Amino acid sequence: MLAHEPQGTSALVGERLQQRGYDVHDHVVTTDLDRPNDAAPFPDFADYDMVVPMGSVRSLTNTGEIDSWIFDEIERVRAAHARGTPMLGVCFGGQLLAAALGGEVEQAPAPEIGWYDVSAVDGTPNPAGPGPWFQWHHDRFTPPPGADVLAVNDNAVQLFRLGRCVGTQFHPEVTYEHVESFLTGADDEYLAEHGLSREGLLAGIRRHEDRNARQCFALVDWFLDEVVTS
């Protein structure tokens, strides 16, 4: 698991992988939100059966503040894909997979912070289900060439698959404690600017938490059963 900050660990995704018999190793890329370019060296991706890049408060539209590590990570992801290593990218991680494999990342028409439904595309089965899923992003990705788009909403592509790689724009992994940790990186001015409050976001995760765990586990099961074993 590639946690780009301590607030962005694998949470429910890692829990389900452990339940399915995987040993989960969380690698934290940066540990200080005020020092985004101060990064730990990456492990060798070739040593792992699977790579799961998680979310980040950073943006692939502003690589200057993370240029000590982001291009290295992109190259490692590209090489892992060439080796056939399964990868599941979440939010920033999904954008990372898209960028590494020939897609693009851009600022979204509007940020999505909270719970949003997603839809299948032209009758294509949507393994994520309709949600709602938790979102916290200002950017969106264009899937790489040849990818299957599996879920969308009006604001962004939400799920794509390219071979043994899957990228989500939403956050399937969240728990109450996880959202609490996200909020440590958001001040009151930022929340007010987007019409949000800590109390409202925490009430939302409390309301959706049990159902979200079930849908997260189902998504991870699909990834393992249909993507990893393909």
CA distances 51 to 24, 80, 130, 158, 222, Å, are 10, 8, 25, 19, 16
Query: What crossing angle do the helices spanning 11-19 and 176-183 adopt, rounded to 10°?
Result: 150
Direct distance between the N- and C-terminal alpha carbons of the chain, in angstroms, rounded to an integer: 21
Q: How many CB atoms lie within 10 A of CB 108?
A: 16
- Active site (catalytic) residues: 91, 171, 173
Indicate the SS3 state at residue 113. strand
